[in-house]
Amino acid sequence: TQHFIVIGNPIAHSKSPEIHTQFAAQAGIEISYQRQYCPDDAASFTAVIEAFFQGGGVGANVTVPFKQVAYNCCVARGGLSEHAKVAGAVNTLLLNKTLLKNGASIAEAIYGDNTDGQGLVNHITSLDWPLKDARVALIGAGGAARGVILPLIEAGISDLTLANRTLSKATNLVNDLSAASETIAKQQIKTCTTDQLSGAFDIIINATSIGLSGDTLPLSDELSGHYAYDMMYGRTLPFLQHFAERGAQTSDGYGMLIGQAALSFERWTGQAIDVVKVTEILQTH
């Protein structure tokens, strides 16, 4: 049996154990996948992670509020993937086998990846929404937005506008990311405030934390999109309702959740997952 955990605080609500249990059933391998609570400080996080891998654990997912802590932890140990580096955050931990072979201890070999952004791209692709040459508007400039920018650009979009309530956070994010990645610098991302976002886009993505809270985004009547995606999931997302009423196709972020999990699972086990099939099974539960 291969052992996995998801670490967060709070953690009781995490759907990762049921998702990964379905993946393992599909791949025909035996796993245990547990929710791991951790006090909200870096020292506790590091202690929990080290104990997990030293005890023979194969992989861990990291969720709120530890994604940046996990990033710092890996910088000082087994290293980071390009996506984790640019995102400034880690959602997937594993051991760096090369370092282990070269004599590093288990604690020194803890390596971080980030599959969130590619999970979004894979889900959008599975919906048959065209990303290649798409004009994309991304709303939000926090950790969630940061994590998806490089994968969206790598998917071949033609044009990216980043909108945020606080304009300075959007421009700072673009400056940061452009310094961190040549691919991003070349894209020349435009920025504006959310209420100034206007014009016709192919895909409009909500990466703010507004979700199911009572608040709504101040969206202009001059803003239109063929497709609208909310990275949150739930029954009635006001952002999606707004665009559905205007004829757009819409999706919540449940498929992104499954998509990022599938990429973690593939990274850990080498087994490819049929995400569409697993999503169908999970939705009928």
Which residues are identified as catalytic? 67
Q: Which is nearer to ligand ATR, 152 or 217 (CB)?
A: 217
> Could you check whether the bond before residue 130 is cis, i.e. omega within 30 degrees of 0?
no
Half-sphere exposure of 150 (CA within 13 A, CB side): 25
Please name the residue ranges forming H helices in 96-161. 97-101, 116-126, 143-154
261 annotated to bind ligand: no
Residue closer to ligand ATR, measured from CB, 22 or 194: 194
Q: What angle do CA 195, 200, 203 make, to 5 degrees?
A: 90
For the bound state, the minimum distance from the C-beta of residue 18 to ligand ATR, rounded and expressed in Å, comes to 23
The residues of the shown chain that bind ligand ATR, judged by CB under 6 A, are 140-145, 164-166, 169, 208-210, 215, 217
Instruction: Give the dihedral sign, CA 258/282/8/110.
Output: negative
284 is in an annotated binding site: no
How many whole angstroms separate alpha carbon 63 and alpha carbon 9?
Answer: 8
Residue 145 or 149: which CB sits closer to ligand ATR?
145
Please indicate if the annotation marks 116 as binding a ligand. yes
CB of 232 to ligand ATR, least distance (A): 9
> Are the CB atoms for 84 and 90 separated by under 8 Å?
yes
Q: Which residue's beta carbon is nearest to the bound ligand ATR? A: 142
Toward ligand ATR, which CB reaches closer, 36 or 91?
Answer: 91
Shortest distance, position 272 Cβ to ligand ATR, whole Å: 29
Give the separation between CA 144 and CA 213, rounded to whole angstroms. 17
User: Residues within the annotated binding site for NADP(+)?
Assistant: 82, 140-144, 164-169, 231, 253
Binding residues for shikimate are 14-16, 63, 91, 116, 233, 260
